[in-house]
Amino acid sequence: MLVEILTPKGLEFSGPAEKIVLPSASGEIAVLPGHVPLISVLKAGKMKVIAVKKDFEKEIEGGVLEVGKEKIVILLKKF
């Protein structure tokens, strides 16, 4: 699944990922390939991205998650 992470500064990450774990307003969300389309508000907490080439964890301040059929877009205040 293609993941794009955007901030007011621009594109921070773009690439394939196997799994993403995000803190949402209603609890932690894990997104895997084939996830149903979804839009969610993100809260402050730890974001984990298990990417094909490089895994990483980041503390985020909040944002918005959009899961589409072919692409996942994460809009963050700060990366």
Model confidence pLDDT, tens digit, residues 1-47: 999 999 999 999 999 999 999 999 899 999 999 999 999 999 999 99
| 65/15 Cα distance (integer angstroms) | 16
Q: H helices then E strands: how many in the chain?
A: 0, 8
Domain of residue 10: give its range. 2-76
Q: How many domains does the chain have?
A: 1
Q: What is the CATH number of the domain that holds 50?
A: 2.60.15.10
Residue 52 scores a pLDDT above 90: no
The pTM of this model reads: 0.92
Q: What is the mean pLDDT of the chain?
A: 94
Residue 62 scores a pLDDT above 90: yes
Residue 72's Cβ-count burial label (10 Å; 0-12, 13-18, 19+) is buried
Residue 76 scores a pLDDT above 90: yes
C-alpha gyration radius of the chain: 11
